Every structure is written in structure tokens, then in C-alpha cells.
Structure 1
Amino acid sequence: MEWIRRLRNDHKLSMIGIQETKLEESLLPFNDVSCWGDADCEFHQVFTTARSGGIISIWDSRVFSKVESIKTRFYIVTLGNLVDINGLTGFINVYRPQSVNEKSKVWEELLAIMSSKLATWIVMGGFNAASCFALDRDISDHSPIILRARCDDFGPPPFKLLNFWMLKDGFDAIIMKVCSEFVGYGTPDMRLLNKLKQLKIAIRCWKANTVKMENAEIETLKTNG
């Protein structure tokens, strides 16, 4: 299980879900500390049945605090509190059944569990539909999948001008006002760029005021009606 420790260290992982472990109950117990690299970890395990399957979920106990767990032959559900995340987070580690009937049954069970718990759910394994990327195969005959959560700031939304705005009262007036009052400096292309910026600001303000007045009129009609 050295490759698990290397996987965790290389990618700074807080939760790892492993399927097809082939670990039987009669074998030596799973050494979570050696596998994880330190004692700040917890794990749940489902042993292999008839030399197939086997699941392990292991996580950093400093980052994820377990509240509840559910284990069957085909999945491990671990529900708890994740650092910096409001509310509960649930990790589902699935070993995909082979038969169509078993797949359907497992999915129905998981849907029932998810619908009964108010939590953010992350599914790992056979039913994973999240955006992720695969690593090269190592000792395992499966390609490890890494799922990272991050917050990307793409800046303010792009400016949009809808054609029907031009038909509304006040739109022409605001355009004429900005163009007549604009004073530009520099090269022609810079003057045009700055004029367009001033128009964008003015149109956004006009739109906000127009929407506010229209909403007020709607509320008045509702009240009087």
C-alpha cells in the first residue's frame, strides 16, 4: 500500500476511495497508519467476497470528522463535517456490481440514502459522474482518479446588450448624453475604447434603475389588483 501513501503525499489528498482491494478478512489487518503516512487518519473497509470486490475509504481526520457511516458489500457511505464547508458532506465509495439487477438495486439504495440526508455528496467509483482526471496506473490495475474542489474567480460577468433595450424609454437619451459629454484623450483607438467603457457603465446604471422601476410597477399592480 505504499503507492497510496505516495498518491496522498504527491497530490495533497484528504480522502481516498479504493475499489477492488482484494483484501480478505482472513488476511493481516489493513495498516491505515502505514498506508496513510501518519496517525491522523481514519478508515472504513469492506472485505472481498468470493475473491472479488473489496472497498476502503480512508481520510485525514484533521480535515474530515465522521458523523455516520453505512457499509454494504458494494459501497461505503461516510457522512461528516469537512473543514471550511458549511453543513454535512457525504462521501460514497462504490464498487460497481456486475449484474444489471444489482447495479439498479445499489443505485436505488444510494439515491434513498442521499435523499434522506441533507448533505453535499461526492461519489467515487463506479457511479462517479464528477469532473476529474485520471493518473497513470501503478500497482493497482485501476487508474486512480483525483477530484479537487476549488473556487475560481473569473472576474465580473461580460457586458451584454440586448436588442429590446433599445426600444425602451430613456435608452436613446442615455446614449446621446454619454456621447455628447464624453471628452477623450490619446490615440483614436484609445478614445473609442474609453467611450465604450463610459457607455457600458451608463447602460448598466440605466438597466438597474429601469428594472427597479418595472418591479415597483408590477408590485403596485398586484396590490391594486
Structure 2
Amino acid sequence: MPQELNYLRESASQTAGPYVHIGLAPGAAGFDIYGKELGWDIAGPNAKGEKIRVEGCVIDGMGAPIKDVMLEVWQANTDGVYAHPEGGGPVEEGFRGWGRVITDFDTGEWAFETVKPGRCAGRNVGAQAPHLSLWIVARGINIGLHTRMYFDDEGEANSEDPVLNLVEWENRRSTLIAKRAERDGMPVYRFDIRLQGEDETVFFDV
């Protein structure tokens, strides 16, 4: 007799639920699992360049902050080099160029400190403007969203960036540019991410 074949059906689509914090940022969820939370130290103590703070909020289509978001960030160092074998060269000891933060459960605000990245080479394209790559997950999002954050004080570099120039309309490009201010002597860049509606942030199909 032919062997009976068992077929697995496709499971139902699900969004990132409340357990995402327990698995990926347990300390923030109240679980003392790791001696040091993974992903909170992006640049390390030996990083060169300008120390900055980045902060913002993820906002839904109704204009309300989402309070259970996790963001991952990737960046080059101040010389435009990534902490990767193909990143273009050596980086400072302890420079990870990667981090993970979650929003405050009460306010929906997120923030992290790092160093401002430099211009970096792109694949098969010219030099890219200083930027941070962000990946966003939360309840209500079926697939993680990819976007970029550029700096408003890098006007010339931004105007030449091959990825930013893929965005046809200038008002859409502006959703990718963070605003610089200063607080207690440190540069602070504000970058709110809007998931839907007016001024929706540009997301990339990566």
C-alpha cells in the first residue's frame, strides 16, 4: 500500500504579540534573564565621532502613539564603515553598529544614544548620505517594516543620496529626515514614524 502522505496546512497569519518583548527585550518586560540586555549598546565606549541621541514615537493611522513597538537599528560608524566582514574596513573595538529598543509602555516614546554615522558606500551605487536603517515590529503589523532615518543637517549629502532620490516626491522624502535640536549639550534628533495617514513614513521593500 502506498505510504500515507501528511500535508501541513499553512498556519494563520499573526502579528507580533505581547511576547515579542519577553523574547527579544526581556529586561524591559520585567524578566531578569540576561546580565546585559542585548542590543542596547550600539556604538560602544570606544566609538569615534559625534555622540547623539535619537528619539521619537511610532504613530498609528488615527494619530495615536503605539506603545508596544520594538525597533532594531543598523548603522555605520563615523567613517562610514559597518561592523561586518564586508563593511569596508575595521571599526573601533566594541562598535556593534546594531541595536534594539522598545517603546515606553506608558508614553509610546523610544530613544537611544549612539554616534552619528558617516557617509558610506552603497552596493552598485554611489556614496550614501549618513543614515540609520530601522526595522519596526508591533501588534497590528504582519511583516516588519523597513525604513531609513536621515539627518536634516546633511542637506548636501541627502541631495546626492541614491536611495533617498528613489522617492519621487519631495514631501514624501521629508518623512525620512530627522530634525536636529540640542539638549543638555547633546545633539538630539527627532524622528516620528507614521504608519498610515497623512505624512505616512516611506517604507522600503527589502
Whichever of the two has the greater Rg, that structure is 1
TM-score for the superposition, normalised by structure 1: 0.27
> RCO higher in 1 or 2 (8 Å CA, sep ≥ 6)?
2
TM-score for the superposition, normalised by structure 2: 0.29
Greater percentage in strand: 2
